[in-house]
Structure 1
Amino acid sequence: MGVDDLSADLSGTRRSGPGSDGVSMLLADDHALFAEALQLRLSREPDLRPVAVAYTVAQARARLVRDRPDVVVLDMAFGDGGALPLVEHVREVSPRSGVVLLTEVTAVDAVVAALRCGARGWLPKTVGSAELVRAIRGVHRGEAWLPPELLGRVLPELLGGGPGTDPLAVLTAREREVLQCMVDGLDRPRIARQLRVSTNTVRSHTQNILAKLGVHSTLESVALALRHGVRGTRR
């Protein structure tokens, strides 16, 4: 969903909302221009009120505790370690909030990990605003929402869920510590401080983790870790 698409939807008269009967929303995205345009677009829907925005993980956590929104729309790349730790946090502090992830990521491991963490919707950022609104309403009703092209790939993984080889077994104890820090959303300098090593050492460990797990990004490694039972430790 591009900014042009959103801006085009802003024409016309803004309708009045239903007040307290509306679906309360939280948008969490560190791309301010996109987030503000999306906020304006969603605010035009009579049943989506209020629509709050968080630009940082700290703001999102504070809003969750204070507002307990009905639906959270979350950028998958939000935060240093990606959005999955925040999805878990939503489940803990506001379990009735439905989570819709907006993302460019289509890796099955990432989708499955997000669903197992508690997300109920997964949509690409290229989706049209009308489709996003339908997804938000569906998730608020308790439905799951996945693009058809992903559903067939994700369902076997969700339904399988049987025991198998633990891919994390190839990691050393120190690499597991670094991976845990990544799941907790720490960036490299903060990992270095916590583990009392240099940032170059953290970089080397991170490269080893990606190579051993056969993934190409921190996001994918976090998704794989969450899928295999690693959970965030920061509150």
Structure 2
Amino acid sequence: MIEKQYISYFEIVREKITDPNTYPFNIPALKNIPKVELHPNVTFIIGENGTGKSTLLEALAVQYGFNAEGGSKNFSFSTQRTDSPLSQCIRLGKGIIAPKDGFFLRAESFYNAASYLDVLQKEDPQKKALKAYGNKSLHEQSHGESFFALFTNRFSGHGVYILDEPEAALSAQRQLAFLVRLHELVNMKSQFIIATHSPLLLSYPHAKIIELSGSGYKITRFSDTEPFIVHKVFLNDPAKMLKELGID
């Protein structure tokens, strides 16, 4: 039931916007987005580059209490203040049950989050900052391995996980493995909000897919998403597609 969701909806409080003609409030999709109900398990946010996916995801994460550069709620590092004022104008519908875990993954700043963990480990080895991450520095693993170590070791269920392009460092095989882990965590009463370009991730059944575009916002189906359509057309006849692109 919706009242048992960790986050049931979000909306932009227009009265708090000082100038609707400035970034990010002038992004077309965000300018007209209404109150949006979230799926109790998995909500995907998709769209072309520049449509506001990461900006919206960051605002949701910051409003929920996460560090703007990523991590859990107790991550307090900051390398550069880049978060937009959108988070100050977001209202979240919070459920009656509080999550026991949570994490905000930003692919672009994951390096900084990994460095912060190393600093914590060196400052106080007794606290074992890396224990929840497989007892190994994320910098001592490949980019993809460190992402997967996060999903398998750090994410413990009963949590809110806000992920910005988690596929960025994952091979196709690892993306499928991520789907398995996602499903395990959903069955452990977790809620995900994910911005992605990956048709593999978007295939997760029963998820809600929110598409942002230059013309606004809509709820769509997996088979109607651009990632699915483009990949399907290309893989059905790669030679033809390459020829149309002038590559032959």
User: Aligning the two structures, in what range does the TM-score lie when normalised by the shorter sequence?
Assistant: 0.3 to 0.5
TM-score (norm 1): 0.33
The structure carrying a bigger helix percent of its residues is 1
The structure carrying a bigger strand percent of its residues is 2
TM-score (norm 2): 0.32
